[in-house]
Amino acid sequence: MKFFLAIIGGGPAGYTAAEKASKAGKDVVLFEQNALGGTCLNVGCIPTKSLLYGAKQFYNATHAQKYGVSAENVSFDFAAMQKRKTIVVRKLVAGIKQRLNNEHCTLVNGFAKVEHRTDESVTIECNGESYEADNLMICTGSTNFVPPIPGIKENEHVWDSTDALAAAELPKSIIIVGGGVIGMEFATLYHELGVPVTVIEALPSILPNLDPEVVAVLAEKYKKAGINILTSTRVEKIEGNEVFVSSLSEAEQSINSSFSAERILVSVGRRANLNGLEALSDIELNRGAIVIDDFCKTNLLNVYACGDVTGKIMLAHVASRQAEVAIGRMLKVIPLQRIAYNAIPSVVYTNPEIASVGITETQAAEMNIEVEVNKLPMTFSGRFMAENEGETGLCKVITDAKNHSILGVHLIGNPCSEFIAAASFAVRMGYTTAEFQQVVFPHPTVSEILHEAI
Contact positions vs ligand NAD (CB under 6 A)? 147, 177-183, 185, 200-203, 208, 234-235, 267-270, 314-315, 346-349
Residues 6+ apart with CB under 8 A from 167: 159
Annotated catalytic residue: which of 191, 317, 410, 443?
443
**For residues 187 and 330, which CB has a smaller minimum distance to ligand NAD in the complex?**
187
CB of 156 to ligand NAD, least distance (A): 20
Q: Measured between alpha carbons, how far is 442 from 435 in angstroms, rounded to an integer?
A: 17
Residue 70's φ and ψ, nearest 5 degrees, are -110, 130
CB of 39 to ligand NAD, least distance (A): 8
CB of 366 to ligand NAD, least distance (A): 18
**For residues 144 and 399, which CB has a smaller minimum distance to ligand NAD in the complex?**
144
CB of 241 to ligand NAD, least distance (A): 17
Half-sphere exposure of 337 (CA within 13 A, CB side): 15
Report cis status (omega within 30 of 0) of the bond before 415.
yes
Q: Measured between alpha carbons, how far is 284 from 177 in angstroms, rounded to an integer?
A: 32
**For residues 48 and 433, which CB has a smaller minimum distance to ligand NAD in the complex?**
48
CB of 142 to ligand NAD, least distance (A): 7
Indicate the helix (H) or strand (E) that contains 113: strand 112-117
CB of 180 to ligand NAD, least distance (A): 2
Q: Measured between alpha carbons, how far is 44 from 22 in angstroms, rounded to an integer?
A: 26
Q: Are 345 and 354 in contact (CB under 8 A)?
A: no
CB of 125 to ligand NAD, least distance (A): 30
Whether 443 is catalytic is yes
**For residues 269 and 444, which CB has a smaller minimum distance to ligand NAD in the complex?**
269
**For residues 182 and 406, which CB has a smaller minimum distance to ligand NAD in the complex?**
182
Report cis status (omega within 30 of 0) of the bond before 150.
no
**For residues 353 and 448, which CB has a smaller minimum distance to ligand NAD in the complex?**
353
Query: What's the gap between Cα 38 and its chain centre?
Result: 13
Residues 6+ apart with CB under 8 A from 100: 15, 18, 19, 22, 30, 36, 107
Could you say which DSSP state residue 363 is in? H
**For residues 92 and 369, which CB has a smaller minimum distance to ligand NAD in the complex?**
92
In 156-189, which positions are buried (b, 16+ CB within 10 angstroms) versus exposed (e)?
ebbbbbeebbeeeebbebbbbbbbbbbbbbbbbb
Q: Measured between alpha carbons, how far is 242 from 72 in angstroms, rounded to an integer?
A: 36
Kindly report each contact of residues 87-94 with a partner whose C-beta sits within 8 Å and lies 24 or more positions away, as own/partner.
88/46, 88/47, 88/50, 89/37, 89/41, 89/42, 89/46, 89/47, 89/50, 92/37, 92/41, 92/46, 93/35, 93/36, 93/37, 93/41, 93/42
Residue 268: other Cβ atoms inside 10 A: 20
Residue nearest to ligand NAD (CB): 180
Residues annotated as part of the active site: 443
